[in-house]
Structure 1
Amino acid sequence: MVSGGALRLGVLGEIAAWRGAEPLDIGHARQRHVLGALLLEPGTAVPGEELARRVWGARPPRGTSALHGYVSRLRRALAGGGADIVRDRAGYRLEAEAGPAAVDVCRFRALAVRAGAAERDEEAAALWDEALGQWRGEAFAGADAPWFRAQRERLAAERLAARLDAADVALRLGRQGPLLDELAARAVDHPLDERMAGQLILALHREGRHAEARASFERVRLRLAEELGLDPGPALRRLGERLANA
């Protein structure tokens, strides 16, 4: 028996479902993948052939019995939990009583929109924290069919964009200290990205680590010149001038 509480469904990590704090047993990996393939578009029908392609890739099983069996077991697992998988002529769709808000990726995207539109940085920072807090790991962890890999890559790009926007807000609020390790790691992973380099350089400068900030600026300036034949863009160039005058 599952304890009471709101239903939550997740793809930002392993595909999972909870009723309150209690995890729901949604079966083995392939069955979870069927659920996950419906969760990016809650309330939208996915044709059976398309659903099978998402789950199995280019070689789905013959016939529909395997897919029907997984859907039937998922419906039993979700029964009484506030969600159902409905089948009609258009295909299969996940219907949740709470609507898209039941799904972590939908909450993440909605919170990101609100954060981007917030008028006060304090409000934006709180919303970005809540949005990024929806993530438990890489999206669709363990699901390796091509459709899942493509969605994982797209969602990873959304997560990175959110982290960059959140860092901009934190820097405006003077909260750079706790971000330094994260900013440094991103700058290493993306050595030609001027926005990431600028965030790290600004954070170091504001923390009084001027020599490290100047070294970071020089490093990215040289790399841009050697690998792309480019000078720093206007924003990074202005930051370099601030460092020179510090």
Structure 2
Amino acid sequence: MAVEFRVLGEVEVRVDGRRLELGPARQRCVLAALACEAPHMVTVDQLLDRVWGERPPQRARETLYSYLSRLRRALQPAATATGTDGGAGITRRDGGYELTVDPAAVDLHRFRSLGAEARTAVRAGREDEAARLFEEALALWRGDMCPGMDSDWFNARRETTQLERIAAVLDRNDVQLRRGRHAELLSTLPALADSHPMDERLAGQLMLALYRGGRPADALQHYQLLRRRLADELGIDPGPPLQELYQGILVSDPRLAA
């Protein structure tokens, strides 16, 4: 791909692998707000709200127009790029601006598209293809979305996309468990479960991977740890699927084999 817009981590634009200089943080914030909606228009008022929130500076509109002008110049190499997605640039519309670009050139949109393709492959029973697509989607993440950009809109978007990422990880884990790749998952599942200690679906994936990896005692111990957490913090027991998995591990249910 000739042009890449990256918001899943520090905001970047690359043309044939070369990183463009996008200016100061607030200016990059304007580009990120457009990239997240590409190729749809964002109104001037929406840009002001997304970049500065409820406390815009004096002459905020003039500052915004200055940022947009500088970004257009910075993106000139992207505007003249060639490739499967063609060029990209900021276009003025009646009432607002849009980042004119193939959505596949924006990592956020590509992540979502790959995830949708992977889930379609799961429903069709194409597990190997689904695993490949999930891995490709997750590899686009380089960190939190647009770190350091602090407005209500960016904070809400950051939380939403992080939930999307976790959902893709969990779906990928299910695929890999069905493919018998529990040993590979054990290199990442424990740390992920520690960072999401109340997630029952994730706990079940870790328990199953531990059991299939010859560590049933560790799987049972993880269940007891989660059960105590749920009781202490929420006053509830694990849900039926996790209880059923626990009982299956206790009796070495052959249906749990890889």
Q: Shorter-chain TM-score: what band?
A: over 0.9
Residue 69 (structure 1) aligned with residue 66 (structure 2): yes
Amino acid at match of 1:168: D
Instruction: Identify unmatched segments of 5+ residues in structure 2.
Output: 79-86, 253-258
1:180 corresponds, among 180, 186, 191, to 186
Alignment partner, residue 159 of structure 1: 165
Larger mean CA deviation between 211-220 and 227-236 belongs to 227-236
Distance, in Å, in 1 between the alignment partners of 2:34 and 2:119 is: 27
Moved over 4 A (4+): none
What is the CA distance between 1:94 and its match in structure 2? Answer: 0.6
Residue 84 (structure 1) aligned with residue 84 (structure 2): no
Alignment partner, residue 112 of structure 2: 109
Local SS of the residue matching 1:9: strand
Distance, in Å, in 1 between the alignment partners of 2:70 and 2:235 is: 58
Matches within 5 A, 1:1-246: 6-63=2-59, 64-81=61-78, 82-96=87-101, 99-118=102-121, 119=124, 120-246=126-252
Distance, in Å, in 1 between the alignment partners of 2:88 and 2:179 is: 41
What is the CA distance between 1:145 and its match in structure 2? Answer: 2.3
Aligned residue pairs: how many?
Answer: 240
Q: CA RMSD in A?
A: 1.5
Residues 61/87 of structure 1: CA separation in 2 closer, same or farther (3 Å cut): farther
Distance, in Å, in 2 between the alignment partners of 1:113 and 1:123 is: 12
What is the CA distance between 1:25 and its match in structure 2? Answer: 1.1
Alignment partner, residue 82 of structure 2: none
Amino acid at match of 2:140: Q
Amino acid at match of 1:16: E
Distance, in Å, in 2 between the alignment partners of 1:80 and 1:223 is: 53
Q: Identity, % of aligned pairs?
A: 49
Distance, in Å, in 2 between the alignment partners of 1:227 and 1:134 is: 35
Deviations 1:60-106 (A, max 9, x none): 2334221111111111111241211111213111101xx11110000
TM-score with structure 1 setting the length: 0.92
TM-score with structure 2 setting the length: 0.88
What is the CA distance between 1:244 and its match in structure 2? Answer: 0.9
